[in-house]
Amino acid sequence: MTIPEIQKSKEALEKVHILRDYRAVLKAIKPRMREGDDKRIRLAFELAFEAHKDMRRKSGEPYIHHPLAVAKIVAEEVGLGVTSVICALLHDVVEDSEITLEEIKKDFGEEVSTIVDGLTKISKLSSGSDSIQAENYRKILLTLSDDIRVILIKIADRLHNMRTLDDVPRKNQLKISSETLFLYAPLAHRLGLYAIKGEFEDLSMKYTEAEKYKEIATALNSKKRERAKFINDFCSPLLVEIKKSGLNARVSGRPKTIFSIWNKMKKKEIEFEDVYDKFAIRIIIDSPIDKEKEDCWRAYSIITDLYHPSPNRLRDWISHPKANGYESLHTTVMGPKGKWVEVQIRTERMDIIAERGLAAHWKYKENKGSKTVDDAVENWLSTVREILKNPEANPIEFINDFKLQLYAQEIYTFTPGGDLKILPKNSTALDFAYSIHTGLGDHCIGAKVNNKLVPISHTLKNGDQIEIISSKKQKPNEDWLNFVITSRAKSKIKYALKEVKKEIGEEGKAILDRKLRQLKANFNGENVQLLANYYKKNSILDLYYDIANDKVELSKLKGLKIIGGNFEMPKPEKKDLIIHKEFKPSLSPEEISKNTELVIFGESNMIPYEFAKCCAPIPGDDVVGFLSINGMVKIHRTSCPNMLNLMSKYGYRIVKTRWTNPRKPEFLTGILINGLDDIGLMNNITQIISGELKLNMKSLSIESKDGIVEGTIYIYIQDQDQLNELINKLKQLQGIISVNRIEK
């Protein structure tokens, strides 16, 4: 074949694959299509195809596969309708082509145009300053106050990007994975998209902690048959009894996510084999809406008749659904062979909501849904919208406050009239006051919890009934921020404090105006900003406020040079800093990050760097560099929580980093040993470290209690291979239960 023929053949094959993906979208959305919808979807597809015809993804495939994949996720996995599928197909069209929102509005209507506009605004966000990524997140969250479908489609967009992350550069993999863990996974959790949340976490771990991910995935796969047999042995008698009872139910078992298993291993400091609940059993009941609660409790009774339940592990989210609409009964029972098993009981309706979250909740809302669920969901959304109307001026602080709410465990509290209020665990009486009304929170002086008088800082518990006591004389103060935990309360308190600060600042402004007149200096924006910088204040308002509170020495102004009414400030002293030629000030962090590769211990390497103390990387670890504001690159392990946080907020400061190790320096590393107390154990441990491997040991601390030994050893290691050899040798000692590197 000639080259043109080969090219033509390739294009023909690509068109076949594109049409296959298009038909898959139609198949997924077909149950929700009405007359004429097929023409609208086809028009959206043709428009997207034309807009992206010359574009390709990093993998080399035509770009149109991406919007088609997002549309399929939106229909099949999120469960949205035709409008959302059309918006998913068009989500990059305005940004990537000459097509305007007006044209989309003309062809598809106002609703589609509004959603595409929201998606385009998110897509246009770009890096540029230290807080820009947090600002981007805030803008993404602001779409919740317009049309929540924008954020649901954006989650689908991110999911497909995560599924195809193998084709992008390593640095981008780390940045995108960190962002996903930081915001998208918690957001999916809060919106009830549990399946997507789990996939986000697993895929992020695949790139940030590749070795652990492979290790757990391999272990899970190797135990697949054994797990299937155990599930069958557990479920068989259960199915028999359920059938006898007359319930129409199906029973299934599924493994927990790799990320959740790894989190449990870290939290409890145990090995993979010691994680008992690696899977969960689900009982899904086909039940009419008016019998759902009754049927779920009947199933619970059958389970607990067969298997002994753990008294502390019952979770009733049927009587009190979660704020995102999640309903289910969870219990943990002792199964065959003395193994604990988590069992989740819910109806078909509840299961769909558990998998598809708010999108499915709305599907059932019109006359099938639970009023408790409706109230919980609508209350949360209205709270979110109110917070987002007046977001905190500092975007990083705002995002951190908001993010805390996404994963928070919940408590159920009640007003004096018996109305339910769902709050995050550890909420205080003041959080409760703000959840009812801003004015009530601003003037709160105390509360009665279960008829007992308590202070506003009192931490609430599940089932508490709260009556708020208020006074018009009360005003918010900064101390309140130390004990409220809800983002709504924090944003309202900060807003009130800012208003008070403005009032006091007016006094400071007048004082400064008089002072400048005395010095014959101009009172203008340029001079005031110079003074704010001179006194090292974050803003002009802070300067005015501190002047009013007598915290600024205005007498220093006499020593400043004034020319023509304007201040001439002394130039700051230059600090000596050895910086590689690529790190000259004229380069932006984006250019440094894009064009620089840091080679650790490279003979010609001149880039200033240091190893992060938070995770203590050693040669062989998967590492990444982060450019700090002083031009120094800090080397972190890619799995370091601090680094994940930094990458999610400042991805443009990531510096590609690799090891080369001609000099073999030594690194201080800690290991934790658990075992049975036995004569000679200490001698055997030191014999391996100092005698056999000839390693330099800094410290060794061993404690024994009730026959169990726990020891912490700090040694100097050259690289990961040497560390792994040490760990493996120590594990072989008689009486040793586990040996783990200390994750700082």
Q: Which of 38, 61, 96, 374 is catalytic?
A: 96
CA-only gyration radius of the chain, Å: 30
| Residue 594 predicted with pLDDT over 60 | no
| Average pLDDT over all residues of the chain | 81
Q: Which of 433, 454, 485 is the last residue of a domain?
A: 485
- Rounded-to-integer distance, Cα 668 and Cα 712, Å: 13
Specify if 391 maps to a domain: no
Mean pLDDT, to the nearest integer, of 713-741? 85
Q: Which tokens in the block code for residue 400?
A: 């951190």
- Rounded-to-integer distance, Cα 445 and Cα 474, Å: 7
Told to judge if 77 belongs to the known catalytic residues of this protein, a careful annotator would answer no
Greater confidence (563 vs 238) lies with: 238
Mean pLDDT, to the nearest integer, of 280-309? 93
User: How many residues make up the chain in this entry?
Assistant: 744
Q: What is the CATH number of the domain that holds 418?
A: 3.10.20.30
Q: Which string of b and e fits 435-474 if b means at least 16 CB within 10 Å?
A: beebebbbbbebbebeeeebebebbbeeebebbbbbeeee
Specify if 446 maps to a domain: yes
DSSP-derived secondary structure for 178-212: HHIIIIIHHHHHHTT-HHHHHHHHHHHHHHHSHHH
Q: Which of 641, 659, 677 is the last residue of a domain?
A: 659
**Least confident segment among 197-201, 231-235, 654-658:** 654-658
DSSP lists the bridge partners of residue 703 as 710
**Least confident segment among 10-24, 33-47, 117-131:** 117-131
DSSP lists the bridge partners of residue 712 as 672, 701
Specify if 10 maps to a domain: no
CB-based contacts of 304, cutoff 8 Å, min separation 6: 331, 333
Give which of 686, 682, 675, 676 is closest to 740, Cα–Cα.
675
The range of the structural domain enclosing residue 725 comes to 667-741
Could you give the number of structural domains in the chain?
6
pLDDT in tens, 297-307: 999 999 999 99
Q: Which of 61, 95, 397, 546 is catalytic?
A: 95
pTM of the entire predicted model:
0.66
Q: Which of 340, 369, 398 is the last residue of a domain?
A: 369
Give which of 54, 86, 70 is closest to 21, Cα–Cα.
70
Mean pLDDT, to the nearest integer, of 25-43? 92
3-state helix, strand, coil split of the chain in percent (to 5) is: 55, 15, 30
Give the Cα-Cα-Cα angle 137, 142, 143 (nearest 5 degrees).
Answer: 105
Could you tell me if 303 and 342 lie in one domain? yes
Confidence of residue 125 (pLDDT cuts 50, 70, 90): very low
Q: What is the CATH number of the domain that holds 256?
A: 3.30.460.10
CB-based contacts of 480, cutoff 8 Å, min separation 6: 430, 456, 489, 493
Specify if 9 maps to a domain: no
Question: For position 89, what pLDDT does the model report?
Answer: 95
Confidence of residue 444 (pLDDT cuts 50, 70, 90): very high
Is the four-CA dihedral 454, 458, 460, 461 of positive or negative sign?
negative
Could you tell me if 287 and 354 lie in one domain? yes
| Residue 261 predicted with pLDDT over 80 | yes
Q: What is the CATH number of the domain that holds 129?
A: 1.10.3210.10
Confidence of residue 607 (pLDDT cuts 50, 70, 90): low
Confidence of residue 291 (pLDDT cuts 50, 70, 90): very high
- Rounded-to-integer distance, Cα 601 and Cα 596, Å: 15
Could you tell me if 516 and 625 lie in one domain? no
Could you tell me if 531 and 455 lie in one domain? no
Question: For position 156, what pLDDT does the model report?
Answer: 93
| Residue 583 predicted with pLDDT over 50 | no
DSSP-derived secondary structure for 313-340: --EETTTS--TT----EEEEEE-GGG-E
Confidence of residue 624 (pLDDT cuts 50, 70, 90): confident
Could you tell me if 311 and 342 lie in one domain? yes
Greater confidence (435 vs 127) lies with: 435
pLDDT in tens, 60-78: 889 999 999 999 999 998 8
Mean pLDDT, to the nearest integer, of 651-662? 73
Q: Which tokens in the block code for residue 65?
A: 């596969």
Could you tell me if 291 and 326 lie in one domain? yes
Specify if 551 maps to a domain: yes
Could you tell me if 271 and 342 lie in one domain? yes
Could you tell me if 243 and 344 lie in one domain? yes
| Residue 577 predicted with pLDDT over 50 | no
Greater confidence (707 vs 543) lies with: 543
Specify if 394 maps to a domain: no
Q: Write down the H helix ranges in 656-713.
A: 681-686
Q: How far apart are the first and last CA of the chain?
A: 60
- What Å distances lie between residue 474 and 441, 477, 490, CA to CA? 10, 9, 17
HSE-up of residue 421 (Cα within 13 Å, Cβ side): 27
Q: Which residue pairs, CB below 8 angstroms and at least 24 apart, start in 681-690?
A: 681/709, 681/733, 681/735, 681/736, 684/733, 685/711, 685/713, 685/730, 685/733, 688/726, 688/729, 688/730, 688/733, 689/713, 689/715, 689/726
Asked if 272 and 216 touch (Cβ cutoff 8 Å), the reply is yes
Could you tell me if 541 and 632 lie in one domain? no
Could you tell me if 63 and 191 lie in one domain? yes
Mean pLDDT, to the nearest integer, of 549-578? 71
Give which of 644, 582, 639, 575 is closest to 607, Cα–Cα.
582
Q: What is the CATH number of the domain that holds 707?
A: 3.30.70.260
The secondary element (H helix, E strand) that includes residue 266 is helix 258-268
Specify if 445 maps to a domain: yes
Told to judge if 375 belongs to the known catalytic residues of this protein, a careful annotator would answer no
3-state secondary structure labels for all residues of 11-50: HHHHHHHHHHHHHHHHHHHHHHCCCCHHHHHHHHHHHHHH
CB-based contacts of 340, cutoff 8 Å, min separation 6: 276, 277, 310, 332, 333, 334
Looking only at the bridges linking them, the beta strands covering 249-255 and 279-285 are antiparallel
Mean pLDDT, to the nearest integer, of 270-287? 86
Question: For position 640, what pLDDT does the model report?
Answer: 84
pLDDT in tens, 331-365: 999 988 888 889 999 999 998 888 777 666 555 54
- Rounded-to-integer distance, Cα 35 and Cα 37, Å: 6
- Rounded-to-integer distance, Cα 626 and Cα 522, Å: 43
Could you tell me if 67 and 150 lie in one domain? yes
Could you tell me if 77 and 163 lie in one domain? yes
Specify if 305 maps to a domain: yes
